[in-house]
Amino acid sequence: MLEGEPLQSLARLPAPGDNCAIATRRIDAGTIVRTRRGPLAIAGAVPEGHRFAVEPIVPGRPLLSWGLPFGVALEEIPAGGCLCNEATRSELALRGDDLPRANFQDLALRPYSLRKREFRPAAPLQPAAETKSFQGFQRPGRRGVGTRNFLVILGTSSRTAAYSRLLAARMQARIDPSPNLDGVVAVAHTEGGETELPNNAQLLLSALAGFMIHPNVAAVLAVEDGGEAIGNGQLRRFARRFGYPLEDVPHQFLRLRGPLEDGLSEGERILSRWLEAARACRRTTCGLDSLKVALQCGGSDAFSGVTANPLIARAAREVIRHGGAANLAETDELIGAESYLLDRVRDLETGRAFLERIERFQQLAASHGLTAEGNPSGGNRLRGLYNITLKSLGAAMKRHPEVRLERVIDYAAPMSGSGLHFMDSPGNDLESVAGQVASGANLVLFTTGNGSVTNFPFVPTLKVVSTTRRFRLLGSEMDFDAGRLLSGGGMEELGRELFELSAATASGQPTRGERAGHWQVSIWRDWRQTEPGRAGEAAPGTAAAGPLELTVEPPRRRLTFTALSRGRVCATELVSLILPTSLCSGQIARIAAERLNAAGAGRRHGLSRAVALVHTEGCGCSGGEDLYRRTMLGYLTHPNVAHALLLEHGCETMHNARLREMMREAGIDPARYGFASVQLDGGIDRVLERIERWFEGALEASRPSAERQAGLGNLRVGLFSAGRLEDPEAAALLEVLRILLGCGAA
Q: What are the tens digits of pLDDT across the range 48-62?
A: 999 999 999 999 999
Question: How far apart are the C-alpha atoms of 737 and 719, rounded to whole Å?
Answer: 9
Decide if pLDDT at 533 tops 70: no
Question: How far apart are the C-alpha atoms of 281 and 138, rounded to whole Å?
Answer: 9
Long-range contacts of the stretch 268-274 (C-beta < 8 A, 24+):
268/167, 268/170, 268/171, 268/174, 270/221, 271/151, 271/153, 271/167, 271/171, 271/184, 271/219, 271/221, 274/151, 274/218, 274/219, 274/250
What separation, in Å, do the N-terminal and C-terminal C-alpha atoms of the chain show?
77
Helix (H, G, I), strand (E, B), or coil: what is residue 384?
coil
Q: Please provide residue 7's backbone torsions phi and psi, each rounded to the nearest 5 degrees.
A: -55, -40
| CA neighbor of 701 nearest in space, from 641, 642, 660 | 642
- Contact between 19 and 6 under an 8 Å Cβ cutoff? The reply is no
Over range 192-220, report the average pLDDT. Answer: 96
Cα–Cα–Cα angle for 486, 489, 493, nearest 5°? 140
Over range 570-597, report the average pLDDT. Answer: 95
pLDDT of residue 371: 77
- Between strands 5-6 and 145-146, the pairing is unpaired
- Between strands 217-224 and 251-255, the pairing is parallel
Residue 298 CA, chain-centre distance (Å), reads 7
pLDDT of residue 276: 95
Q: Which residues, at least 6 apart from 600, have a Cβ–Cβ distance to it below 8 Å?
A: none
- Between strands 68-73 and 20-23, the pairing is unpaired
Range 166-179 burial, b when 16+ CB lie within 10 A, else e: bbbeebeeebeeee
Decide if pLDDT at 704 tops 80: no
- Contact between 395 and 330 under an 8 Å Cβ cutoff? The reply is yes
pLDDT of residue 623: 63
DSSP type of residue 41: E
- Between strands 461-465 and 443-448, the pairing is parallel
Question: How far apart are the C-alpha atoms of 118 and 431, rounded to whole Å?
Answer: 36
| CA neighbor of 607 nearest in space, from 674, 696, 718, 708 | 696
Instruction: Report the percentage of the chain scoring pLDDT > 90.
Output: 75
DSSP type of residue 84: -
- Contact between 684 and 518 under an 8 Å Cβ cutoff? The reply is yes
Residue 585 CA, chain-centre distance (Å), reads 9
Burial-class residue 422 by CB neighbours within 10 Å (0-12, 13-18, 19+).
buried
DSSP collapsed to 3 states, 331-368: HHHHCCCHHHHCCCECCHHHHHHHHHHHHHHHHHHHHC
Decide if pLDDT at 236 tops 90: yes
Range 106-134 burial, b when 16+ CB lie within 10 A, else e: bbebeebebeeeeeeebebbeeeeeebbb
pLDDT, tens digit (0-9, with 9 covering 90-100), for 541-559: 444 556 667 788 888 788 8
Give the ranges where 322-463 is alpha helix by DSSP (H): 338-341, 348-367, 378-382, 388-395, 429-438
| CA neighbor of 210 nearest in space, from 25, 425, 434, 34 | 434
Category of 561 on φ-ψ map: left (φ > 0), alpha (ψ -120 to 50) or beta: beta
Give the pLDDT band of residue 125 (cuts 50, 70, 90): very high
Give the pLDDT band of residue 529 (cuts 50, 70, 90): low
Cα–Cα–Cα angle for 111, 114, 117, nearest 5°? 145
Segment among 443-452, 599-608, 689-698 with least mean pLDDT = 599-608
Decide if pLDDT at 622 tops 80: no
pLDDT, tens digit (0-9, with 9 covering 90-100), for 7-34: 999 999 999 999 999 999 999 999 999 9
Mean pLDDT score of the chain, rounded to an integer? 91
pLDDT of residue 620: 72
Helix (H, G, I), strand (E, B), or coil: what is residue 731?
helix
pTM of the model: 0.93
- Contact between 211 and 437 under an 8 Å Cβ cutoff? The reply is yes
What stretch of H or E contains 698?
Answer: helix 684-701
DSSP type of residue 387: S
Decide if pLDDT at 43 tops 80: yes
* C-alpha atoms less than 13 angstroms from C-alpha of 401 in its C-beta half-sphere: 2
Question: How far apart are the C-alpha atoms of 10 and 48, rounded to whole Å?
Answer: 10
- Identity of the amino acid at 496: R
What stretch of H or E contains 447?
Answer: strand 443-448
Question: How far apart are the C-alpha atoms of 65 and 37, rounded to whole Å?
Answer: 17
Over range 564-582, report the average pLDDT. Answer: 88
Give the bridge partners for 65, in sequence order: 68
pLDDT of residue 554: 83
What stretches of 531-662 adopt beta strand conformation (E)? 560-566, 569-571, 575-580, 609-612, 641-648
Q: Which residues, at least 6 apart from 735, have a Cβ–Cβ distance to it below 8 Å?
A: none
Over range 635-661, report the average pLDDT. Answer: 94
Cα–Cα–Cα angle for 493, 499, 503, nearest 5°? 145
- Identity of the amino acid at 355: L
Give the pLDDT band of residue 374 (cuts 50, 70, 90): confident
Give the pLDDT band of residue 368 (cuts 50, 70, 90): confident
Helix (H, G, I), strand (E, B), or coil: what is residue 692?
helix
Over range 383-409, report the average pLDDT. Answer: 95
Question: How far apart are the C-alpha atoms of 91 and 94, rounded to whole Å?
Answer: 5
- Contact between 345 and 420 under an 8 Å Cβ cutoff? The reply is no
Decide if pLDDT at 377 tops 60: yes
Q: Which residues, at least 6 apart from 172, have a Cβ–Cβ distance to it below 8 Å?
A: 183, 184, 185
Over range 170-188, report the average pLDDT. Answer: 92
Give the bridge partners for 32, in sequence order: 41
Within a 10 A sphere around the Cβ of 36, how many other Cβ atoms?
9
What stretch of H or E contains 266?
Answer: helix 260-280
What stretch of H or E contains 443?
Answer: strand 443-448
Question: How far apart are the C-alpha atoms of 73 and 529, rounded to whole Å?
Answer: 37
Over range 170-174, report the average pLDDT. Answer: 93
DSSP type of residue 251: E
Give the pLDDT band of residue 535 (cuts 50, 70, 90): very low
What stretch of H or E contains 733?
Answer: helix 727-742
